[in-house]
Structure 1
Amino acid sequence: MDQIHLMKVFVAVGEEESFAAASRRIDLSPAAVTRAIAALEDELGVKLLARTTRNVRLTDAGKRYLDDTRNILASITEANEAAAGVNAAPRGSLAVTASVLFGRRFVMPVIVRYLQQYPGVDVAAYFLDRVVNVVDEGMDVAIRIGHLPDSSLQALRVGQVRRVMVASPAYLAAQGTPAHPADLLQHTVIAASGVTPRVDWKFGAAGDPTMVRMKPRLTVTSNDAAIAAAVGGLGVARLLSYQVGEELAAGQLSVILAEHEEAPLPVHILHREGKFGASKVRHFIDLLAAHLREHPHLG
């Protein structure tokens, strides 16, 4: 059988973890899917899938082969698109992910401009406050804040942000301004996290950090809510600088303990593109990178 066909069938089965679901996805009969997987395993001389009466799972060899096969098929698609002239006119579907607040404030304006400029493309935007797996969840572009682990993904640095301590001028006038991180123990703390009732906040350089453990007076599950509470004068919150850029510019919040901040965190655009690069992805990244690099809150 054709090697590319076998690879496509295997990727469908591996991702769906089901012969029946893969059959529906690629519009082949279950028998044809079973024959294709058997032929591929015979050709390779290795077991790629472990089958039971209830489910299908990848073997260790199958997991490695799935990653390699995805990359090969993606490269073939990119090469075909480049040869067919798709690069001249972006079209198709684009999946983009970022955190909720970053996506709303920084990515959505670019998506709107991109869709207006390229009518042949549809965009699905996933703004979630969790790390989305770019490969497993089918994302074309992701924006990440923080230091990146080793990865096969392509990364383009577009800015940086800081972890900042903020409070309203009214709160600071009434309660005083902390001079040292340890002074926070005497202040009302707002935490944007629902994971634990206690919070460890680290300050200073990596080689000489200061750790302060506090019990927040208010714990919320969204950054927007923490910002609102701080603006309202409840207490001190720790957020990323881009999240409170508008409030700082308007004088609704003030930065405190700036001399004790950790090193800035990089902002990257991640994507899976190979050497050809699909037009829809390249054009979006170009727009997004230019927008983020020029933004004053990401410098």
Structure 2
Amino acid sequence: MDRFQEMQVFVRVAEEEGFAAAARRLHISAPSVTRAIAAMEARIGTQLLARTTRSLHLTEAGQRYLEDCRRILSELDEAEQSASGGYSLPRGALTVTAPVLFGELYIAPLLADYLDLFPAVQVNALLVDRLVNLSEEGIDVAIRIGHLHDSQQHAIKVGEVRQVVCGAPVYFARHGRPSHPHELSRANVVMSSASTLLSDWHFRSDAGPLSVRVDPRLVVSANQAAIHVACEGWGLTRVLSYQVAQRVADGELSLVLEAFEPAALPIHVVYQNTTRVPAKVRTCVDFLVERLRQDFRLKPVHPGAA
């Protein structure tokens, strides 16, 4: 292996926290990965990875070297993109990330349409309910729901989603409809551990901001599961409006406490702040921005929703 290939192996081992997992991702043998790391450490003259029988982690030198490797590989990729026309013609691998349910409902179908327009591009869609670091995880484009905290990225707002409380008609027939957020303390509540809305629910009232601490009796690992339980009539859940838009339209769920809803959360298309943006990133961002703005203008949860 040349040094650039060794760097790629090292970065993958660090990200996967294991030799076998890195080998699978790189489609090479585990012994090849082991030899590459050993060669790097021998040439540099220091240990980059601390290994035990049960774990693997970066040494202090390894952490510094990882940052340098990512920078060097990024610069190499930019040079190759420039030489091959990648900054003028969309081509090559593109990684896009989005929240799981938003990605399933909106982003995956849009990416399929995008690929029909640009046959020289290949897309990897990373759908996860966690905040992904664009630079560290090699992400080209991200869909972010909520207020942004990283001013180092380019961000284009495409719409808004509401934070809604909902339940099935059968639940309200048995327990009544809450008319004030404080009544949630007596309700059956199901929530997803993947949600940022898990414990403190914020509302607005005529008197100002209102915070209610709820104690979910049922916590599941996915938003879709919480929504399904709510549809069955067991209890209330709090989700983002797009996650239940169709269920509300079909009458499976009904929204409550709408007069107390907090401000809507923005949706942004985000990409890295680089001097030269590859054509595959530029065209993908432009495509997603245009289509998502159409979707969130034409598909509200109810008239007047974002």
C-alpha displacement of 1:168:
2.7
Q: Deviation per CA, 1:168-211, whole angstroms, max 9, x where unpaired?
A: 3443344322111111233332223389xxx6332225984322
Equivalent residue number for residue 251 of structure 1:
251
Q: Check conservation: 1:49, 1:58, Cα contact below 8 A.
A: yes
SS at match of 1:86: coil
Equivalent residue number for residue 84 of structure 1:
84
C-alpha displacement of 1:53:
9.7
Equivalent residue number for residue 279 of structure 1:
279
Equivalent residue number for residue 128 of structure 1:
128
Pairing 1:176–2:166 present: no
- Mapped to 1, the partners of 2:9 and 2:90 lie a distance apart of 26
TM-score (norm 2): 0.73
Matched to 1:271, the amino acid is Y
Pairing 1:242–2:239 present: no
Equivalent residue number for residue 13 of structure 1:
10
The aligned runs of 1:1-299 (5 Å cut-off) are 9-10=6-7, 12-16=9-13, 49=48, 58-60=58-60, 62-64=62-64, 66-150=66-150, 152-193=152-193, 200-204=199-203, 208-216=209-217, 218-272=218-272, 274-296=274-296, 297=300, 299=306
Distance 1:34 1:221, change over 3 A: closer
Matched to 1:274, the amino acid is T
Q: Check conservation: 2:171, 2:233, Cα contact below 8 A.
A: yes
- Mapped to 2, the partners of 1:32 and 1:247 lie a distance apart of 52
Q: Check conservation: 1:75, 1:274, Cα contact below 8 A.
A: no
Distance 1:230 1:32, change over 3 A: closer
Q: Check conservation: 1:99, 1:129, Cα contact below 8 A.
A: yes
- Mapped to 1, the partners of 2:96 and 2:166 lie a distance apart of 30
Q: Check conservation: 2:202, 2:262, Cα contact below 8 A.
A: yes
Q: Check conservation: 2:188, 2:216, Cα contact below 8 A.
A: no
In structure 2, the gaps of 5 or more residues are none
Identity %: 38
Matched to 2:213, the amino acid is V
Matched to 1:214, the amino acid is D
C-alpha displacement of 1:278:
1.8
CA RMSD of aligned residues (A): 3.9
Matched to 1:209, the amino acid is L
- Mapped to 1, the partners of 2:39 and 2:224 lie a distance apart of 53
Q: Deviation per CA, 1:116-135, whole angstroms, max 9, x where unpaired?
A: 11222222222233344434
Specify the structure having the higher radius of gyration (Cα).
1
Matched to 1:130, the amino acid is R
Distance 1:79 1:209, change over 3 A: farther
Distance 1:15 1:233, change over 3 A: closer
Q: Check conservation: 1:181, 1:203, Cα contact below 8 A.
A: no
SS at match of 1:252: coil
Distance 1:263 1:48, change over 3 A: farther
Q: Check conservation: 1:181, 1:212, Cα contact below 8 A.
A: no
Distance 1:52 1:215, change over 3 A: closer
C-alpha displacement of 1:62:
4.9
- Mapped to 1, the partners of 2:37 and 2:223 lie a distance apart of 47
SS at match of 2:193: coil
- Mapped to 2, the partners of 1:182 and 1:202 lie a distance apart of 10
Distance 1:50 1:183, change over 3 A: closer
SS at match of 1:234: coil
Matched to 1:166, the amino acid is C
Matched to 1:167, the amino acid is G
C-alpha displacement of 1:94:
1.9
SS at match of 1:214: coil
SS at match of 1:226: helix
- Mapped to 2, the partners of 1:273 and 1:203 lie a distance apart of 33
- Mapped to 2, the partners of 1:283 and 1:139 lie a distance apart of 15
Distance 1:257 1:85, change over 3 A: same
C-alpha displacement of 1:246:
1.5
- Mapped to 2, the partners of 1:127 and 1:29 lie a distance apart of 27
